[in-house]
Amino acid sequence: MNLENEINKDKLPKHLAIIMDGNGRWAKQQGKLRAFGHENGTKSVRTTVEACAKLGIEYLTLYAFSTENWNRPKLEVEILMKLLISSLKKELKTLQENNIKLHAIGNLNSLPTSVKKELLEVIDKTKNNSKMTLSLALSYGSRDEIINAVKNISEKVKNNIISIDTIDESIINQHLYTQNIPDVDLVIRTSGEHRISNFLLWQIAYAEFYFTEVLWPDFKEEELIKAIISYQNRERRFGKTSEQIK
């Protein structure tokens, strides 16, 4: 039986977030340089994006580069930035054909000008697409995002635009990079690591987690479907008892 048929289309995660990990180890296994792993990782990005759009996932967020990743060797950072530009150029067509809107979260001002320019161009060209929103987390750190939100809210309090009493979850949400994007339902992390690495800490408060040993360049549609089936077999109780939600 085709695995995809086992997915319940009415119970899809609305927001899927993926920590794409393991490119370096994948390359090492083949006796190649890390860059080779990153290049092959972009192929998994394309297949995953297309598969999610086809399934009907509304929001897909991909962790592509963290604030901590700036601490990698300079050459690796340069390679990743170049790869980003070439992928954006190449995948514009994929986004248009699949009616996908591109969005980015993170400290975009810290990206090289050439990357930012290409990114904003693709965001602009896809802004009217409506099947799926693809958010790329670039120079993204959850703590950085929270600090940024606290600063912006404080500024508004200082200028009497909002009062302290009205600060609630929705105000916080509106000041995060993910404003207008719903909370994460499912997080997938590849490569066997069981950690969050500063990703969407606020937004994953009630997310389900799926960890797989598969390295990111080997992550294909079948693994995605397995993760979704696992998600669909869980009971999300949000603090209530099992009986209450039946």
Q: Write out the residues near ligand IPE by the rule CB under 6 A.
A: 19-25, 63-66, 68-69, 80, 191, 195, 197, 216
**Residues within the interface to Mg ion (CB under 5 A):** 21
Active site residue 21: yes
Nearest residue (CB) to ligand IPE, 71 versus 163: 71
| Nearest distance, CB of residue 172 and ligand IPE, angstroms | 23
Q: Closest by alpha carbon to 63, among 138, 122, 145?
A: 138
Nearer to Mg ion, 63 or 177 (CB): 63
Phi, psi of 103 (to 5 degrees): -140, 155
Which residue, 12 or 140, has its beta carbon nearer to ligand IPE? 140
User: Choosing from 69, 107, 148, 198, which is the catalytic residue?
Assistant: 69
CA-based torsion, 149, 151, 154, 159: positive or negative = negative
Length of the chain, please?
246
Three-state SS annotation for 18-33: EECCCHHHHHHHCCCC
Q: How far is the CB of 20 from ligand IPE (least distance, A)?
A: 5
Three-class SS of residue 138? strand
| Cβ nearer to Mg ion, comparing 59 with 63 | 63
Q: Which of 2, 10, 21, 183 is catalytic?
A: 21
Which residue's Cβ has the minimum distance to ligand IPE? 24
Nearest distance, CB of residue 37 and Mg ion, angstroms? 10
- Shortest Cβ distance from residue 204 to ligand IPE (Å)? 14
Dihedral of the alpha carbons of 215, 65, 231, 100, in degrees to the nearest 10: -110
Neighbours of 47 (CB within 10 A): 13
- Catalytic residue numbers read 21, 69
